[in-house]
Structure 1
């Protein structure tokens, strides 16, 4: 149902470095940066595999505590996402593993991004 979503980030370069690393592990990358003449001088960029699905918007007022879960194509991508996100400055919020209370095949990992958002990679496929 959701075509795309986005978050405000307080430090564009720090957030970009974090999401560049975390999304590379999921086969996604920064696909579009909107020219600043169309954004009022702030940085705005969209990440995805084929089209921009997740947007970063530079802002002074960032929202903490939001949760976003990103599709991993397999469990190895979940593991790689967690490792890359931690190496890029994220804070562990749940190591990769089965979350059977959600579903028997729910394999996810959680990281707090530089702005306090809870981001997750999840695979719903059996091993």
Structure 2
């Protein structure tokens, strides 16, 4: 269903330092990185799509949207905890600590945070422990 998700950023090096360890932890493979453009993209395995792409927007300055969020999949609950810790260590802002969210479904375990540019992200595991 999805080809790619594009996240606008302001500072490429800062965003790359945030997304590289986070997406590596979640098992996404870096497909390209071109600091001269600047942009980088990761793909799910097995690939080749969807891609998650970071870059300054073509239209100019990035402003995060209200009500927009990208949710990343974690295979295990422990990865949600680790992803949240990585996000906080790399300039993220907490929007909801890791934990069960039974209002979504009985096994939904997620964490919410914003990247250094204000994009809202979730890392969620849908598996029982």
Q: Please classify the TM superposition score into its range, dividing by the shorter chain length.
A: 0.7 to 0.9
Q: Pick closer, same or farther for the CA change 1:25–1:35 going to 2, 3 Å.
A: closer
Match of 1:3 in 2: 3
Compute the displacement of 1:21 (Å): 1.9
Q: CA RMSD in A?
A: 1.8
| Structure-2-length-normalised TM-score | 0.85
Deviations along 1:25-54, one digit per CA (max 9) or x if unpaired, are 212242212585xxxxx3121012434610
**Take 2:31 and 2:44, find their aligned partners in 1: how far apart are those partners?**
8
Unmatched tracts of structure 1, length 5 or more: 37-41
Contact 1:20 1:29 (C-alpha < 8 Å) held by counterparts: no
Unmatched tracts of structure 2, length 5 or more: none
Q: Any residues of structure 2 matched to 1:1-127 within 5 Å, and which?
A: 1-33=1-33, 36=36, 42-50=37-45, 51=48, 53-59=51-57, 60-65=60-65, 66-127=68-129
| Structure-1-length-normalised TM-score | 0.86
